[in-house]
Homo-oligomer: A and B are copies of this chain.
Amino acid sequence: MALIVHKYGGTSVGSIEKIGKVADKICAQVKKGDQIVVAVSAMSGETNRLIALAEEMSDQPHPREMDVLVSTGEQVTIALLTMALHDRGCDARSYTGAQIGMITDSAHGKARIRDIQCDAAVHKDLEQGKVVVVAGFQGVDEHGNITTLGRGGSDTTAVAMAAALDADECQIYTDVDGVYTTDPRVEPKARKLDKITFEEMLEMASLGSKVLQIRSVEFAGKYNVPLRVLSSFEEGEGTLIALEDENVEQATISGIAFNRDEAQLTITGVPDKPGVASLILGPITEANIEIDMIVQNVGVDVTTDFTFTVHRNDFAKALELLEKTSKELGAKQVLGDDKIVKVSLVGVGMRSHAGIANTMFQTLAREGINIRMISTSEIKISVVVDEKYLELAVRSLHEAFELDVDGVIA
């Protein structure tokens, strides 16, 4: 008998009919003898409907009250799903974030979980074979104020429940059937992975593969909760996200992620002296603009060049700030380009294999793709290239590293 936490997102519970199908799926697992905890999102469209009401009411809806408002979305789903389970002869009980004791900090709209005070009732429910249905995305702070974990936070709820209950697995049901070596819309030969490590998944997720919310993967890694991504609508084993398995030889590269939302800024001819980086980046971060990649060239003479990337939405503002800094520092010039993409190879096997970077650069060179920026981490190599080369870069790398073939060691 296993204890499994399921999570169903808004699309999976988007209608009465779909909630019924989710109930069928859960009942089948209960009959197999498993103990099931389910975390659910609001029915698709519901959160947007509630936000629209708030925006009609107020130009700047009060953050505490916004959480009181939108948290009703998941409360509706837990009630309907629990009704559906009862109808199928499957005993169940719903819990709001407050009722399950999901204690968070007080950062309304983006709260972080501090503790789960799963009370005795939950354990008793599970022992009695009841399905425990939990409202995702929500919690309460230490004063009892309703909080929300931010969009996608239902994944985090599921992982946190799995960690608190020491569950055997946390299964995230979604509209894709697993994690792929890259986006199948860009490379049709993309292959579903059976297994990926937490670290790889983190890199994939942060690079724009939107299967899982990053925070939930961090959480799962921290508490070593085996995480599985599966389809709500199709049968299949999905992709298991777990700790690195020491006994199995690792594929060097697990996947290729990319991000179309970046823009590049360069300032040239700045004085090459201590503190210059913070003079350049300070005004940007003070304007709440997040900086992704940063590269500083080796200085020639007494000046150096400095390049970084930001989200495309922040490009215009960042450029304006950089122009100002340029004048103050007496720099040579400011360059900007928002027609760029970041392409990254991700894989824990990279640690123990040399030559990955070289193969990557050779492959791109062979296709005539100019690399504009390079950044590396322990399990990732990212390059910035012209936007127009995105598909070509992804496909040529996918082939070069034989990602369409299962289990190949480079």
Residues of A within 8 A of B (CB): 16, 19-20, 50, 53-54, 56-62, 64-66, 68-69, 71-72, 75-76, 78-80, 82-84, 86-87, 93-94, 96, 98-99, 121, 143-144, 146
Contacts and interface: CB of A to CB of B under 8 A. Distances in A.
Main secondary structure of the interface of A (DSSP, over half): helix
A96 B72 CA distance: 11
A227 B64 CA distance: 32
B75 A62 contact: no
Contacts of A16: 53, 56-57
Contact of A99 (B56, B87, B121, B144): B144
A80 B71 CA distance: 13
Contacts of A20: 57
A23 B205 CA distance: 44
B82 A62 contact: yes
B59 A87 contact: yes
Please tell me how many copies of the chain the complex holds. Answer: 2
B99 A83 contact: no
9 contacts: A16-B57, A54-B80, A58-B84, A58-B87, A64-B93, A65-B78, A66-B79, A68-B75, A69-B75
A79 B96 contact: no
A57 B69 contact: no
A69 B59 contact: no
A140 to B, nearest CB: 9
Nearest to A99: B144
Nearest to A80: B57
A59 to B, nearest CB: 7
Contacts of A56: 16
Given A54-B83, A62-B82, A72-B76, 17 more contacts: A16-B57, A19-B57, A54-B79, A54-B80, A57-B80, A57-B87, A60-B87, A64-B93, A65-B80, A65-B82, A68-B75, A68-B78, A68-B96, A69-B76, A69-B79, A69-B80, A121-B143
Contacts of A98: 98
A51 to B, nearest CB: 11
A53 B78 CA distance: 13
A76 B50 contact: yes
A143 B82 CA distance: 18
